[in-house]
Structure 1
């Protein structure tokens, strides 16, 4: 069925299926955090602390609470967010992913005071980690490997998180975003990861490889949030450069993951991230009078979400065919918790449940 043939009913129906999957996931993992699930059995691999993905489970619970309005769902989301506190003092730029997406729906006016305090603590800890010489918050060593790295997945979430504190937060957020863009956009396709040398120069990292499916989607999210939270029309050039290849006619909605120079399996999680980024950028383009661009971005986002819902979403609401790590063969064709989150966020925006910059 063509994407618009049913008037968009598919989005509401898909979102209802996602909430059912959240219920099943909650029963499975209890007080742990889901990472990825086997596509056949639906059984989740989980972790006690949440790893870099914990904020997406908390964010998904907050989205469910928003949709249901049930006090029990709100309490569940708040309790999950509280369990993210371990990560406040861990040395990783992934705190942007953890604390922005884990609190975005909770920390606004009149919402959850504990989540707002946790976000503020995390934001100030990240601001303290900002390296003025490197011009960014280093990737850190919480997950192993060299500490002084810049990674594309260290941008989304961290830009709006840093922008919150009044004492230099916006300058740090802008510096972090622009350093990563300068590095990544120096190559084509954009290089996701770089390592700083003692003399201040940067060397490209082999992992994740060029062509990694989530490079452009992560950066597009960061640019969209930079335009919204920091202002500065100069970021539109980066947005257009990153978006242009993704808007090409005939481009499949779901990209392939990459293992070095070899195409890997599909990565629906990358597609879901991209859809949310495009919906954010469409909203911004509309606000500055770029109506044609807004329309193009919205159509691409809808096409992606429709494809995910009709071709990759199980009857039980699991988004399948996500690729965690093609190079290591880790969960190469699985349900991924961040894929579920971004699918739900995209559908929530599309159906009017939330606005593009609440999530």
Structure 2
């Protein structure tokens, strides 16, 4: 590691934080941590974020080359199995990011395949989506921005009808998000819609336009699709146009480096987890072969540098090093608005590992 290897040093700090987190949470899954002392709120089954903890453990194993770390990651991934048949489109987040970094693990590969087939079976042809589902309560036939990332490659890898369903799921969400059909094509994109067979789609109030992660999740989903010829090749012109519209509408290249936690009502708080997701999406876009690769890469590095320089904790008394602070779990409910979030840590680590050539970002 060279003296100017800021990415390597930051990644080492985040990996060190993974080890302290592991000692604290045991067999449970970390969700978000208090900014003052770094203590985690945990869940027993992982909720929609469980795959990010498994993914961090796999990333640590890649960095340390430790058999013990690899086994720890494998054990954690096995504990995700109860979500395979759960009625939720967040299985894309859980099983793609929880297994994509798993090397030489037949168990992780089998689990990802089982989850992909279950999601394919959940596809609703009338609405054109794998529904958000009822696993977390509320209406089942929802289209949400966080129902797309991870699910596109998860479905595509199933084979058969998987790539076609992945493309339909993505394009239906893009049409709603960007303002085709019943949506309004000005202002911030609309991240959530509800389907009724009699009346069609209507916008949901929650999450509202301006939700920081909605735009980041959709950009990541588009980047993933552009990297998969089996998905992108089905409607290539539409997908390329959607990427251009997303970049322009969300100001990802010209707006704040770290976005407000709620763009529609900025209050001085930011969401570093949204920034980390965006940085990974831009690193992927830079590798699609589309115009603007240098611009995408430059912006991604700028985001990661800002996250490391201004929001990543260093050594000191009172709290652990390697915490990515100022993530926002839920701005509307004022819940964990300046905290360390497990998915923020994951995407920061993934972006840093890509810069250090420890992972192939096009395959995660």
Q: Select which of 132, 154, 158 maps to 1:161.
A: 154
TM-superposed CA distance for 1:330, in Å, is: 1.1
Q: Select which of 266, 270, 275 maps to 1:271.
A: 275
Q: In the alignment, does 2:182 pair up with 1:183? A: no
Residues 146 and 64 (structure 1), Cα distance of their counterparts in 2 relative to 1, 3 Å cut: same
1:142-157 matches, cutoff 5 A: 142-157=135-150
1:333-344 matches, cutoff 5 A: 333-344=338-349
Q: In the alignment, does 2:20 pair up with 1:21? A: no
Q: Select which of 332, 343, 361 maps to 1:356.
A: 361
Take 2:77 and 2:66, find their aligned partners in 1: how far apart are those partners? 17
Take 1:243 and 1:67, find their aligned partners in 2: how far apart are those partners? 32
* Conserved? CA contact 1:99–1:119, under 8 Å: yes
> 1:186-231 CA deviation, whole Å, 9 max, x = no partner?
0431111000023251110011110110111101111111111223
Q: Select which of 83, 97, 107 maps to 1:114.
A: 107
Partner of 1:318 in structure 2?
Answer: 323
Where structure 1 has 5 or more consecutive residues not aligned to the other structure, the ranges are 1-5
TM-score by length of structure 1 reads 0.93
TM-superposed CA distance for 1:167, in Å, is: 2.2
Q: In the alignment, does 2:200 pair up with 1:196? A: no
* Conserved? CA contact 2:146–2:217, under 8 Å: yes
Residues 44 and 84 (structure 1), Cα distance of their counterparts in 2 relative to 1, 3 Å cut: same
Residues 8 and 358 (structure 1), Cα distance of their counterparts in 2 relative to 1, 3 Å cut: farther
* Conserved? CA contact 2:329–2:341, under 8 Å: yes
1:6-85 matches, cutoff 5 A: 9-85=5-81
TM-superposed CA distance for 1:357, in Å, is: 2.0
Partner of 2:212 in structure 1?
Answer: 213
* Conserved? CA contact 2:247–2:253, under 8 Å: no
Take 2:264 and 2:293, find their aligned partners in 1: how far apart are those partners? 34
Take 1:52 and 1:248, find their aligned partners in 2: how far apart are those partners? 29
Take 1:262 and 1:318, find their aligned partners in 2: how far apart are those partners? 24
Partner of 1:252 in structure 2?
Answer: 256
* Conserved? CA contact 1:213–1:267, under 8 Å: yes
Take 2:266 and 2:204, find their aligned partners in 1: how far apart are those partners? 17
> 1:1-56 CA deviation, whole Å, 9 max, x = no partner?
xxxxx985111110010011001000000010000000001000000100000000
Take 2:33 and 2:346, find their aligned partners in 1: how far apart are those partners? 14
* Conserved? CA contact 1:58–1:102, under 8 Å: yes
Take 1:125 and 1:212, find their aligned partners in 2: how far apart are those partners? 29
TM-score by length of structure 2 reads 0.92
Q: In the alignment, does 2:131 pair up with 1:132? A: no
TM-superposed CA distance for 1:236, in Å, is: 1.5
Over the aligned positions, Cα root-mean-square deviation in angstroms equals 1.5
* Conserved? CA contact 2:87–2:133, under 8 Å: yes
Equivalenced residue count is: 345
Q: In the alignment, does 2:318 pair up with 1:297? A: no
